[in-house]
Structure 1
Amino acid sequence: MEILDVLTSMAKAGRLGPVSCGADWQEVTAALGEAWEVGTMSRRRRWPRLFAYGDLELSVCRCRKVSLICVQTWRDVIELPPSIVEGTGTFPAGLRHVDIISALDKAGCSWAPYAPLTFNDQCSLTVVPSGANFTPAWARWMRREARTLPVPAAAIAVSSRTMCIGSVTGVPPG
């Protein structure tokens, strides 16, 4: 299985194995084991808290429900729990805009431009059936060749209303 297959499947279903928005945190940890605790998502509040299983990051609200799912894809290698993806759970990174569109088309996922997250060097897409957002963040120097060069910093995130692939900095959850 390729990383684009995993991300496309996640965009279609809004989940990755037992992990979905609204999933009970106790059930997630029962299925995947204890996660590494990254910390709080705010300096002023104890909740929500961010946990990680390799490059799979989960935000958990104080009611102990998953409120955000994020797969970091900016590193050289993407590591996901092998129990929820086929094979080792290790994938090469280097996503390209054109590959994301091709994977969505191949999977039968209709998509459209997503204007609220399309600005400057960033071009966002929404998967129509699920409302998932693919949002690659492009570096300034990549402006002219953004459709053919690898995405330098990307993530996939599912909140209660959206899923984003790309930089999620500044994107409000839910």
Structure 2
Amino acid sequence: MTLADLLASVALTARLGPVHIGASWDDVTAALGEPREVVPMSRRSRRRSRLFGYGDLEVFVCPCREVRMVSVQTWTDTVVLPGHAGTFPGEPTHAEVVAALDRAACPWELDPDLTFRDQRTLRVPSTRAAFTFVVPEDGEPTLHVLGLPDDGHTCLEPSRPAR
């Protein structure tokens, strides 16, 4: 399986293993283990959302301990994802991603609001997954990140901060 094929599956289902929007952070850490904290927490930020990582998977967690946003960074030479042995070559091309989306029967469209001179974004309407590409002056666009956005969650009463 290529990285583009895996990401097409993620875009179609809005899931990467136990990670999805609205997932319980306790369920994610039970399945994947303890993550690294991408932005270390200060005392003042204990009641704020926090960003954690598993290799090149980043997970934004609300103080109520729900997953709110998910991204897979693909701009590096190699991409490491939990639950997948080894690494994937990074920076899949626009053509590779589009072909993988088509093979997965995953409808997509160009997002005109996030497409301009040096950036192009494809969106999957059913899941709102967004593939954002860097568009060089010469050469083919390469995938920078796949993101699964928040679904509009408003945390009214945080129970306890993510650890």
Sort the TM-score into its range (normalised by shorter chain): 0.7 to 0.9
Contact map agreement 1:40 1:48 (CA 8 A) in 2 = no
Contact map agreement 2:128 2:148 (CA 8 A) in 1 = no
Matched, 1:159 2:156: no
1:129-168 to 2 correspondences below 5 Å: 129-138=126-135, 142-145=136-139, 148=140, 151=142, 154-161=144-151
Letter in 2 for 1:135: T
Shift of 1:144: 4.4
Query: Which has the higher relative contact order, 1 or 2, with Cα contacts under 8 A spaced 6 or more apart?
Result: 2
- Tell me the matched-pair count: 150
Matched, 1:11 2:11: yes
Shift of 1:143: 2.7
C-alpha distance in 2 between matches for 1:125 and 1:161: 18
**How many percent identity over aligned positions?**
44
1:102-127, Cα deviation, whole Å (9 max, x unpaired): 11111111111111101121111111
List gaps (5 residues or longer) in structure 1. Answer: 163-174
Contact map agreement 1:73 1:154 (CA 8 A) in 2 = yes
Letter in 1 for 2:149: S
Matched, 1:54 2:55: yes
**2:30: which partner in 1?**
30
Matched, 1:110 2:107: yes
Shift of 1:94: 2.7
C-alpha distance in 2 between matches for 1:40 and 1:116: 32
Contact map agreement 1:81 1:89 (CA 8 A) in 2 = no
Letter in 2 for 1:136: F
Letter in 2 for 1:156: L
**1:20: which partner in 2?**
20
Q: Which has the larger radius of gyration?
A: 2
Contact map agreement 1:118 1:124 (CA 8 A) in 2 = yes
1:77-102, Cα deviation, whole Å (9 max, x unpaired): 101113xx3xx141111311111111
* Structure-1-length-normalised TM-score: 0.78
The 3-state SS of whatever aligns with 2:39 is strand
Letter in 2 for 1:98: A
